[in-house]
Amino acid sequence: MAKELGVGIIGCGNISTTYFSLSPLFRGLKVLACADLNRSAAELRAEEYGVKAQSIEELLQNDEIDVVVNLTIPAAHFSVSKAILEAGKHVYSEKPLVLTLEEGEELRRLATEKNLAVGCAPDTFMGGSHQLARKYIDEGGVGRITSGTCHVMSPGMEMWHPNPGFFFLAGGGPILDLGPYYIANLINLIGPVKRVGALTSMANPTRTVTSQPLNGQTIPVETPTNIHALLEFVNGATITLSASWDVWSHRHANMELYGTEGSIYVPDPNFFGGVVEASGRNKDIKPLENWDHPFGIANQESPQGPRANYRTAGLADMAIALTEGRDARCSLARSLHGIDVMTSILKSGEEGRFIELTTTCTQPAALGIEEAQALLR
Ligand SMILES: NC(=O)c1ccc[n+]([C@@H]2O[C@H](COP(=O)([O-])OP(=O)(O)OC[C@H]3O[C@@H](n4cnc5c(N)ncnc54)[C@H](O)[C@@H]3O)[C@@H](O)[C@H]2O)c1
């Protein structure tokens, strides 16, 4: 039995309930304490989930804690992760890891110096559907992937998130907020990216919140909300990625990948499940035969029906990888490459030229049924 790591959570907002409620599914982890700039937010979660509320300082000095999960807002990710490493603890961050490549390189330097691990969400590419797509591609089901399209487009976030301001500041925007799911899954399915180009814009310089409790408040938009990017992969594949919060409706699929022998239709990489379809040269598009992957089994109700949600799987994989001395799937190298892709897309939009990436990474190990089962209690 692998050693269990003591986990602390910094940032007790919206997404923290997912980590508190799903982490008990996994082996190798025990959430012990939480902290937040807003002490009452930490106290609320501590009471809900039976953990200890601490100040940030106390949590960083808590000897029982081996890994700290950073669930703060994107603008705080770098400073909070840096403080965690400086306190001698491993980091697992919500996406995006950092807002610039330089910040990411500093975390890499610090982690290497202190022999600590840094991991980062998203882990949805470990879902049953995305791993089924990975298996089909690896087995040559559609030949060599040569091109594809990805679309993540909606009217925005200010109609559902209780505090949506950060989505429209530097570090937010659809590319840094939702891009990570797409980039992580493209790295899972195709491998690393070589260069990118993009056109970026914003429909409006301000937005009006329509969710509660800030209904009616005007918030500034300081980052592009409409991005059309082209990605050239190291394997030669060329992919179009459209990410927008300026679109009321559309008819594009989340992810279509075209290979030398056929096409594969991958469901929304923001989720663990969904139907994977594929066709061969005969153009007959059919669902792939489902497999009993543990991370594809619906375990939650959602407004769209039953849903598979295994967020925290990446943290569990990192905890077990640390004790087994193997590569974690949501590794620093892959997250940093994702940051390079996304920040280069924004830079290309500003400068009007293609940007060659300076980082690279390997594809994560595939996660079959047995490997996924081994992460669960
Ligand atoms: N909400 C979601 O559905 C969702 C889904 C996936 C990923 N995420 C990611 O998770 C992160 C958090 O999102 P959220 O929706 O929970 O945001 P949120 O605003 O609801 O919560 C963030 C919390 O972090 C705290 N905080 C901010 N700066 C801090 C600091 N320096 N030190 C300690 N605490 C600090 C805030 O007080 C707040 O309680 C973001 O990076 C977001 O992209 C959110």
The pLDDT assigned to 2 comes to 53
The pLDDT assigned to 3 comes to 76
120 lines ligand 1 (CB under 6 A): no
Which residue from 88, 68, 90 is spatially nearest to 16, judged by alpha carbons?
68
268 lines ligand 1 (CB under 6 A): no
Nearest protein CA to atom 39 of ligand 1, as residue: 13
204 lines ligand 1 (CB under 6 A): no
For 213-228, the pLDDT digits (tens) are: 999 999 999 999 999 9
**Side chain identity at residue 341, one-letter code:** V
The pLDDT assigned to 1 comes to 47
The pLDDT assigned to 171 comes to 83
Cα 37 from Cα 259, distance rounded (Å) = 48
238 lines ligand 1 (CB under 6 A): no
Whole-number average pLDDT of the chain: 97
For 239-269, the pLDDT digits (tens) are: 999 999 999 999 999 999 999 999 999 999 9
For 321-345, the pLDDT digits (tens) are: 999 999 999 999 999 999 999 999 9
255 lines ligand 1 (CB under 6 A): no
For 42-96, the pLDDT digits (tens) are: 999 999 999 999 999 999 999 999 999 999 999 999 999 999 999 999 999 999 9
46 lines ligand 1 (CB under 6 A): no
Cα 281 from Cα 285, distance rounded (Å) = 10
Q: Which atom of ligand 1 is least distant from the CA of 76?
A: 31
Beta bridge partners of 233: 193
Task: Compute the distance from residue 296 Cα to the ligand 1 centre, in Å.
Answer: 26
3-state class of 203 per DSSP?
coil
Cα 359 from Cα 340, distance rounded (Å) = 7
Tokens of 185: 């899954």
Task: Compute the distance from residue 56 Cα to the ligand 1 centre, in Å.
Answer: 15
β strands within the chain, DSSP E: 5-10, 29-35, 52-53, 67-70, 90-93, 118-120, 145-153, 193-201, 206-208, 218-220, 226-233, 238-244, 255-259, 263-266, 277-279, 286-287, 300-302, 305-307, 355-356
pTM for the model stands at: 0.96
Q: For 240, phi and psi rounded to 5 degrees?
A: -95, 130
Of the residues 34, 73, 167, which should be mutated to test ligand 1's pocket, given the most ligand atoms within 8 Å of the CB? Answer: 73
Whether 170 shows a pLDDT value over 90: the answer reads: no
Task: Compute the distance from residue 267 Cα to the ligand 1 centre, in Å.
Answer: 26
Nearest protein CA to atom 3 of ligand 1, as residue: 15
Q: Which residues are CB-neighbours of 136 under 8 A, at least 6 positions away? A: 142, 264, 276, 278, 288
Q: Is 93 left (phi over 0), alpha (psi -120 to 50) or beta?
A: beta
Q: Which residues are CB-neighbours of 303 under 8 A, at least 6 positions away? A: none
> Are the CB atoms for 121 and 231 separated by under 8 Å?
no
The confidence band for 195, taking pLDDT boundaries of 50, 70 and 90, is very high
